Structure 1
Amino acid sequence: MRTFNHVGIITTEKKEGAVFNEGLSVWLTDYSKSPNKIEYLKFEAGSCMPPLVQENGHIAYTVPCLETALKDANVIFGPAVCDEHLTIAFIEEEGLAIELMEIK
């Protein structure tokens, strides 16, 4: 079962409070500080993220088991271990990028 987590919106300018993720070459805001659960993303040239994510943003959901959630899915990125508590992957559904997050 998926639980809504946040929405990723692409921007062309670095937003206040954004931090740089060097591995993904993207500036990110903290969606947990947004009353509407919005994460702003400003990608730098050379990002490894798929064009669907870089150009259109994404909807993110937490899942209890990422491996199970990815079965029969159209995986476009990952899985990627972010830290000891978070593993993510992006899939494509209905022409949109969907981020699946397993939080331990």
Structure 2
Amino acid sequence: MRTFNHVGIITNENQEGAMFNEGLNVWLTDYSKSPNKIEFLKFDDPAKSCLPELVKSNGHIAYTVPSLDEALKDAKVIFGPAVCDEHLTIAFIEEEGIAIELIEIK
């Protein structure tokens, strides 16, 4: 079962509190500090980011899942799985023409 986590919105504007993620080459805001669970993404040079074009151009919706392996079965995976740290693994899939981020928290 999926649980809504956040929505990722692409912006060209600098956002207060945004942190640069070198691994993904993108500026990100902390969606846990947003009352609407919005994660703003700003790409200085989208070509340098390893994220899929669908994410870089249209943003995404993110859900937590109990098992990433189960959630990815029969899915159209467009990125990952990627281990972010010992507690967090993510992947992006495409559904209904949009990017969906799936997050497993251990």
Indicate the TM-score class for this superposition, using the shorter chain for normalisation: over 0.9
1:19 corresponds in structure 2 to: 19
Alignment: residue pair count: 104
* Structure 1 CA distance for aligned equivalents of residues 55 and 67 of structure 2: 22
Structure 1: gaps of 5 or more residues:
none
Cα distance per residue 1:44-95 (max 9 Å; x no partner): 3210101100000000000000000000000000000011111000000000
Runs of 4+ in structure 1 displaced over 2 angstroms?
Answer: none
2:65 corresponds in structure 1 to: 63
1:2 equivalenced with 2:31 (yes/no) = no
Q: Percent of aligned pairs with the same residue? A: 82
* Structure 2 CA distance for aligned equivalents of residues 7 and 17 of structure 1: 17
TM-score, normalization by structure 1: 0.98
Amino acid at match of 1:16: E
TM-score, normalization by structure 2: 0.96
Question: RMSD of the TM alignment (CA)?
Answer: 0.6
- DSSP-derived class of the 2:16 partner: coil
Structure 2: gaps of 5 or more residues:
none
